[in-house]
Chains A and B, each alone.
Chain A
Amino acid sequence: MSVRHHFLASLAGLAGLAGCAGDFPDQNTPGDGCAVNIVSSPEILVASSTSLVRLAAVAGERRPYGYEWQVTYGGQPIETTPASAASSEIEFIAPTPGIYQVAVRAVPGSNCAALREDLNVRAPDAVLRPYRLRLTPSTDTAAVEDVVITVPSGADFSYGRRALTEAVSTPGAVRLGEAPLPAYLRFTGVGSAEPLAEVAAGADGAFSAPLIAGPHDVLVVPTSDVAPMRFAAWAPARGPLVVVPGVTVSGVVRDAVGPLAGARVSLRVDGVPSTVGVSAGDGTFAVQARTGTSVELTVIPPLGSGLPRLVGSSTSLDLAQSLAIRFADLPRRDLGGLELRRGGAVAPGASVTFVAELPAAGTATAGSAVTLRGVLAVRAQAAANGRLPSTQVVATALSAVLQPAAGEQAVVTLDAAAPPAALDAPPMQQVTGVVTAGGQPAVGAMVALAPQGALALAGAAPRTERTAEDGSYVLPAAPGGSYRARVSDPRFRGAPSSTGLISAGSQPPHALAPGWQLVGALTRPSSLAGAAGVGVAVYCPELLGQPSTQPLSETVTGVDGRFLLVVPDAPACPGS
């Protein structure tokens, strides 16, 4: 048996407790003799059609004469049996997993409010799954925070009631030796890569960050040519963030001909970015970086070279040695003069991005060698005659993402080694379909088309629309492009889900995914008052310091601080 909840922190007015809320005061006050706790036995409740759940009311300052209980599930009353004198304990059967709402009030004592509490009853075969809740308050008085919760699968879950944590304005300073160092600072939880606060240290090196009291990991990225640095578990008591010089990583960038000037080189060593170096006329470059084992390398060729961006990672590069970066011998072709068209007509001012992924586009060598892949993304804009100026690209099979006019896109393929005289953008097309919930059209659901493939390489942004009264949606789509559709429902009739790769055209009906409800309530820091307008997003647990971007589900608390969202049933998280 365990004390699960205190009366004074009760979830007053929780849904499904009809009939009591209007009769009892909203909440009790310390010292009024109303305090009571609910204790459940067993401590972990598992749905069963035979086993009894026993709840005990434990009085606080004054022992009342008796108790009134009410247990509901899904708004329906559950039959309970008194199990002790004065009904201080009751028993009931909880045959279905999910959230049971319990109200108990000490009697006599019409001035006492009912304690309203959610009981989570697990499915017998439940698997415990961790999730990360990100709480984003609307006010500066509460801090952004991540909370890890463990949820038994197969049933709705109540997070209960939780107070937001007060944001403590945490002052500090960044120094390089004794000198103040202007910098960008990113605060994360210890061992986490999820940003909690991002602030700037000014010319005097001073900063103030809205944080939860306690240690944080801090990434410091100086605005000057000083290697960024990560501080583990920093707390104000440790004093200023003193950045020490990193190591100078130098080397040469070459293409098939010789040294390549104007290439940008940057590293991430164990997740910490370096400064950005630009190769000189002799191809040499230098960046300031931290030492470490995992190196991610990015090389941006000079504009107009037609070469791809080189990216790669290695744990064997020895950054103490000179880093030799070499572009592979990639034949290039000038597409100058190529005409851009829109629906067969010349398209003056149209733009195009030539994209391709090249598995082996270069190498990096420092002690050991690593093959770098290439990502080509060359942008060009047609002149008034619709023809491209000189535009170097790798002479290989490419995709051209055409933008003949604002809001219009098309994807066409070409062999740059033998380019056509013109590229024509067909008219925009549509992705259409219907979203359903429980077999009925889901009005108001959100359908987001996320570009994939060539469109993603060209940096195309997703596009979202709301379903109409009949559940239908119409989204503009680039002919030749591919997408994934992510469907979510602000009304939470189902959980968010994504489709496989789709292209323009009519899609089969998409049913909102089955999911489980996550409910809870947030209060202001050190207060029982509901915290309104707090963003609540559910993410997969963070894996190896890799931050996640797309939440599994998200919502905002209402005026009373309560929230409800639906999380997909299927294990959508890596490793789950």
Chain B
Amino acid sequence: MRRSSNVARGGAVGLLAWLGAGCLYLHDVNQRPAIEIVRRTTTAIERGAPVELEAQVQDPDSNEVTLQWRAYACGATTALCDDVPFAEATLETFRPTVPSRTAGAEPVRHVRITLDASDEHGARAQLPQVLELDVVNATPSVMLQKVGTAAVLGHPVELRALRQDADDPATSVTLTWQLFGPAGSARPALRPVPSGDPAVEAQEFTPDVVGAWTLMVTARDPAGAVGTGQLAFVISPDRPPCLVALAPSAAAPLVLDQLRRFAVVVVDDDLDPFPAEGSGARFAWSLLAPSRGAGRAALGGPSDHAVELDPATFVPGELLELRVEVSDQVARTLPCADGDASCSIGSDGCDQRRTWRMEVR
């Protein structure tokens, strides 16, 4: 319901004529409201997108006015509109979302908007308003993403493309992938991998050169509209893992006089940080204990991030060396002598080896 605001309040106009012989009363005549559709959306109208319209209403009598919006989907011409509206409303502002298909499953090319009005006394608008709008094909879009934070030379990198189209099913949008590598790259092939989402296409490749890479994906909808997406990312050389936190710290010689657990708490690595789901960090534990023979004896397996030592299984006064070395999926040789307590491939403080030295009491 809306009351016209363009006419002075007071409404009825009375006319009293004094005609000598008596009084003549004239009832005021209820007038029709006047309406007009104003298009608020100034950009092209796309299927699947909303269009905003506003009703401008005038009622000479300032009566309450009831609006009736209707929106019809049309096919190739405005002569081929649906009989049943796809949206109706009674508010001043009408914001229907343009469907992709007509009731007859034709692509929507036009929309017909009608606006009718009546005042509280039943007087209808002088002329129902009709607005016919052309509908354009929405351009598909594609959002690109590199899976994971690491992008390392020689290891598969998964790329995902989410295709979106306002007026077509995402699955009807075809994607064309192009991968551009730095100079020297042999342009490794993209391989499709399952994405688990029909709207998402996923491919992986194994980078052969470090540096800046660019992925460009073109999305094309059934009507031929084209959108593109671009993703830049950097491929880095695989770095060795770093032993970041141990418990207890291996900074000083210890005394083993009670059952102790020696654990790797945190490993920093681009591909295999630990702990992390599916981490490929591998641990090599070894113990040098004179009472158990010469040489370092391996302890545990590569998935063990902790070992326990019980002084009761050693000889009091015995000096032990417990060593842990960490590796990731890349086989590397540590460039250090066996006697070195710690070792860093890069000599950069990123240690792949630490050694606890302790005396049994």
Contacts and interface: CB of A to CB of B under 8 A. Distances in A.
Interface of A: 136-138, 144, 184, 186, 193, 195, 197-200, 219, 221, 228, 264-266, 268, 273-274, 276, 298, 300, 309, 311, 351, 375, 377, 379, 381, 406-407, 444, 446, 448, 457, 459, 461-466, 490-491, 533, 535, 547, 549-550, 555-556
B255 A221 contact: yes
A300 B316 contact: yes
A535 B308 contact: no
B245 A221 contact: no
Interface stretch (B20-28, B72-80, B229-237, B260-268): B260-268
A459 B245 contact: no
B298 interface: yes
Contacts of B254: 184, 198
B39 interface: no
A462 B307 contact: yes
Contact of A200 (B253, B260, B268): B253
Nearest to B246: A136
B50 interface: no
A407 B298 CA distance: 8
A513 B305 CA distance: 21
A200 B285 contact: no
B266 A556 contact: yes
B292 A463 contact: no
B106 interface: no
B251 interface: yes
B317 A547 contact: no
Nearest to B244: A138
Nearest to B278: A444
Nearest to A381: B293
Given A462-B307, A533-B244, 9 more contacts: A221-B257, A264-B315, A266-B316, A379-B291, A379-B292, A461-B299, A464-B301, A464-B304, A547-B258
B257 A273 contact: yes
Nearest to B262: A549
A549 B301 contact: no
Instruction: Rank and list the top 5 A-B pairs by shortest CB-CB distance, nearest first.
Output: A276-B317, A535-B265, A273-B361, A461-B299, A266-B316
B312 A268 contact: no
A556 B273 CA distance: 11
Contact-residue bracket for chain B: 35 or more
Nearest to B304: A464
A138 B258 contact: no
21 contacts: A136-B265, A195-B248, A199-B252, A200-B253, A219-B255, A221-B359, A266-B317, A273-B255, A377-B313, A379-B291, A379-B292, A444-B278, A459-B292, A461-B285, A462-B300, A463-B304, A464-B300, A533-B245, A533-B266, A533-B268, A535-B247
A461 to B, nearest CB: 4
A309 B361 CA distance: 14
A198 B248 contact: yes
Contacts of B244: 138, 533
B182 to A, nearest CB: 29
B83 interface: no
A195 B257 CA distance: 12
Interface in B287-311: 291-293, 298-301, 303-305, 307-308
A138 B307 contact: no
B346 interface: no
A274 B360 CA distance: 11
B331 interface: no
Contact of B303 (A144, A464, A549): A464
A381 B295 CA distance: 13
A390 B258 CA distance: 33
A483 to B, nearest CB: 13
A556 B305 CA distance: 13
